[in-house]
Amino acid sequence: MASEKRLEGKAAFVTGGASGIGAETARVFGEHGASVTVTDIDDAGGEAVAKEIVGAGGMAAYRHLDTSRETEWEKAVAEAVARYGRLDVLVNAAGISGRMPDDPTSPRVDDLTLETWERVMSVNATGVFLGAKHAVAPMRDAGGGSIVNVVSIYGMVGSDSNASYHASKGAVRSLTRAAAIQYAPYKIRVNGVYPGFIDTGMTKEVHAHPLHGGVRLEATPLAEFGQPRDIALGCLYLASDDARFVTGSELVIDGGVTAAALKTSLPREDA
Ligand SMILES: NC(=O)c1ccc[n+]([C@@H]2O[C@H](COP(=O)([O-])OP(=O)(O)OC[C@H]3O[C@@H](n4cnc5c(N)ncnc54)[C@H](O)[C@@H]3O)[C@@H](O)[C@H]2O)c1
């Protein structure tokens, strides 16, 4: 347990809470005294995380939520507010890479099917929009709140990786700023966390790949992959009252990748 609890009395809602960054954020929030609604489409994983938080003395409950479906958002937020009496924090961590399993850099624009584009956009961009849309009313009722969008450095720079992933994260970057302006009058802060290369289920294969993992490592001045906790602690700051004057901001946690300019371009046979 943390010695100083920074989210005492707050009710938090985390998407993608079954794995990686979302799971660790839910755990850290639990350690810091928040009541946490853990959501995901992976019910077994999400239940396990909620159980872990409760086992460690925190407060948490799991609920199924596919973030691309508006009716599920309506029900999940209403249930969370009914359970904990309020909503103070939303972390939008759910996401997919849309990567083709046999090629860690795919698909490039001319290989990208409309189906993949729409699937990636529906989770990574539409899902975040729907979360903000449905969190605003209960946050206004609570007198304010904090929405933290887990974006990506791939929303800031280009690479050989999935173009729809880049586009979806770019959309969230812009949505974050617009929402920050629109809800500042209600003391609802909206910020983005920008992870670099973090070891999670999403990146397991790429980071283990000698070429693709090596390129990412080489592009990281701190010379290691980040861990989910590195990102969760950024979410904790933005969720807490320590960040009371922070909105529309971009917290980059990438081991220096973007400061050094990204070097992930691979040689192409057809260029
Ligand atoms: N790992 C990295 O290097 C990295 C870098 C930058 C940004 N991110 C972002 O961080 C976030 C978390 O990713 P992660 O790396 O922890 O990956 P992860 O695969 O470990 O976790 C993603 C979670 O989202 C859930 N999910 C997928 N589709 C969903 C849907 N439709 N509705 C609800 N939940 C859904 C998955 O079941 C999973 O539990 C994502 O938004 C990702 O784009 C990750």
> Mutate which of 21, 120, 123, 204 to test ligand 1's pocket (most atoms within 8 Å of Cβ)?
21
Residue whose Cα lies nearest atom 41 of ligand 1: it is 95
**185 CA to centre of ligand 1 in angstroms:** 31
The pLDDT assigned to 265 comes to 56
| Residues labelled catalytic | 165
* Burial of 168: CB neighbours in 10 Å, binned 0-12, 13-18, 19+: buried
Residue 223, pLDDT > 60, answer yes
The pLDDT assigned to 99 comes to 85
How does the average pLDDT of the chain come out, rounded? 94
Atom nearest to 195 CA in ligand 1: 6
Atom nearest to 197 CA in ligand 1: 3
The pLDDT assigned to 111 comes to 86
Name all domains of the chain by residue range, CATH numbers in brackets.
11-255 (3.40.50.720)
Q: Cα 166–22–209 angle (5° rounding)?
A: 55
**93 CA to centre of ligand 1 in angstroms:** 6
**Whole-number Å distance between alpha carbons of 38 and 185:** 28
Residue whose Cα lies nearest atom 31 of ligand 1: it is 66
Q: Which residue has the higher pLDDT, 182 or 212?
A: 182
Atom nearest to 228 CA in ligand 1: 16
The model's pLDDT over 173-206, given as tens digits with 9 standing for 90+, comes to 999 999 999 999 999 999 999 999 999 999 999 9
Q: Are strands 188-195 and 59-64 parallel, antiparallel or unpaired?
A: unpaired
Residue 72, pLDDT > 70, answer yes
For residue 264, name the pLDDT band (cuts at 50, 70, 90): low
For residue 230, name the pLDDT band (cuts at 50, 70, 90): very high
The pLDDT assigned to 269 comes to 72
- Report the percent of the chain where pLDDT is more than 70: 94
Lowest mean pLDDT: which of 27-36, 98-107, 113-122, 200-209? 98-107
**Secondary structure tally for the chain: helices H, strands E:** 10, 7
Residues 6 or more apart whose CB falls under 8 angstroms from that of 90 comprise 12, 13, 14, 15, 131, 132, 135, 139, 145, 146, 147, 148
Lowest mean pLDDT: which of 23-32, 158-167, 236-245? 158-167
Residues with CB under 6 Å of ligand 1 are 15-16, 18-22, 40-42, 45, 65-68, 93-96, 123, 150, 152, 195, 197-198, 200-203
> Mutate which of 90, 200, 204, 251 to test ligand 1's pocket (most atoms within 8 Å of Cβ)?
200
For residue 243, name the pLDDT band (cuts at 50, 70, 90): very high
Residue whose Cα lies nearest atom 14 of ligand 1: it is 20
Residue 2, pLDDT > 50, answer no
Residues 6 or more apart whose CB falls under 8 angstroms from that of 114 comprise none
For residue 153, name the pLDDT band (cuts at 50, 70, 90): very high
The model's pLDDT over 74-111, given as tens digits with 9 standing for 90+, comes to 999 999 999 999 999 999 999 999 987 767 667 889 98
Atom nearest to 153 CA in ligand 1: 6
